[in-house]
Amino acid sequence: MNTIMKKYYLIVFILVGILLGLFLVFQFKTPKIIQSSFEIDEMDAKDLLIKSFLDEQSYLQSRIVALRKLVSEAQTEIEIKTENASIALLDNLKKDIGLTDVYGPGLDIILDDGSFSDRESSESSDLRLVQASDIRDIVNALHASSASAVSINNQRILATTAISSVGSNILVNNSHIAPPFQIKAIGDVQMLIAGLKNKNLMGDFLDRVSKYNLSFSITISSAISIPLYNGDLKTNYINLVNQ
């Protein structure tokens, strides 16, 4: 009996040891999350610094829009004087890229963080917050449903637009945007709505809307206005073939 009991304890201790070993292995294989800790005054200084950059960014973006409009006017003048055929091609390319204002029927979508959530103090992965990936999914669903133009908080979205996050802040074209997020799309309204209901395209966003009370409203409008792109365009590494 004593021998059986001893064997029994031995097996139990071996099993506990193995289990412990497994946990230790998992523990050391787990990637560590790097988290920064800031004092309150440092946070204030950071906020001030970010605000100054954002103020400057708003000014620079409005300046770009104004200058692009002046360039278009000057080009129209040249077209009148010279009847230059290149101007027509230029205008078409500008439309394709997103360098003209666009008007037409479409959707006005508003999304906002869930009730009782605080973007400033929340972790970036807080499921009650609208994530950059949610906005990417919505924009992709709209494009997949043949939207001809899309904007987020009045910023025109191009094919090359990156929608990313830094902490709990969302950046579009590397410009900071804050909730509520207004996404406007021009296109066939029924197709656009069908795209937004497609769970294949929308990830887990639609589930989170009901689970965490995220705000998500869609308004159909016959007159959506989407502004021209107000950012920079880089072609430093692109060359045209046969030029």
Shortest reach from residue 121's CB to another protein, in Å: 14
Cβ proximity to another protein: between 167 and 180 the closer is: 167
Of 76, 167, 49, 153, the residue nearest 110 (C-alpha)? 153
- The reply to whether 86 sits near another protein by the rule CB under 8 A is yes
Determine which residue in the list 118, 123, 197, 219 makes contact with another protein, applying CB under 8 A.
Answer: 123
Whether residue 113 contacts residue 128, with contact meaning beta carbons closer than 8 Å, is answered with yes
Q: Is 194 in the site for another protein (CB under 8 A)?
A: no
| By CB under 8 A, residue 46 contacts another protein | yes
User: Residue 210 Cβ, how far from another protein at the closest point, in Å?
Assistant: 19
Q: If binding is defined by CB under 8 A, does position 122 make contact with another protein? A: no
Q: Which stretch binds another protein (CB under 8 A): 105-113, 114-122, 168-176, 215-223?
A: 168-176
Q: How far is the CB of 154 from another protein (least distance, A)?
A: 16
For position 190 contacting another protein by CB under 8 A, the verdict is no
Give CA separation, 79 vs 83, 87, 96, 154, 160, in Å: 5, 7, 20, 30, 30
Contact between 97 and another protein (CB under 8 A)?
yes
Which of the ranges 81-89, 101-109, 112-120, 212-220 carries the binding residues for another protein, by CB under 8 A?
81-89
- The C-alpha atoms of residue 243 and residue 241 are separated, in whole angstroms, by 6
Q: List b or e across 222-234, with b for residues whose CB sees 16 or more CB atoms inside 10 angstroms.
A: eebebbbbbbeee
- What 3-state class would DSSP assign to 111? strand
- 132 interacts with another protein by CB under 8 A: yes
Question: DSSP class of residue 82?
Answer: H
Q: Is 109 in the site for another protein (CB under 8 A)?
A: no
Residues numbered 11-30 forming contacts with another protein, rule: CB under 8 A = 16, 19-20, 23-24, 26-27, 30
* Whether the Cβ atoms of residue 57 and residue 178 lie closer than 8 Å to each other: no
- Interacting positions 47-76 with another protein (CB under 8 A): 49-50, 53-54, 56-57, 60-61, 63-64, 67-68, 70-71, 74-75
Which residues 217-236 are close enough to bind another protein by CB under 8 A? 231-236
Q: Residue 155: CB partners within 8 Å, gap ≥ 6?
A: 172, 173, 175, 177, 230, 231
100 binds another protein (CB under 8 A): no
Q: Give, in order, the Cα–Cα distances in Å from 191 to each of 7, 158, 183, 186, 233.
A: 70, 20, 16, 11, 30
94 touches another protein by CB under 8 A: yes
175 counts as binding another protein under rule CB under 8 A: yes
Tell whether residue 125 is a contact of another protein (CB under 8 A).
yes
The residue assigned the tokens 């300046």 is: 63
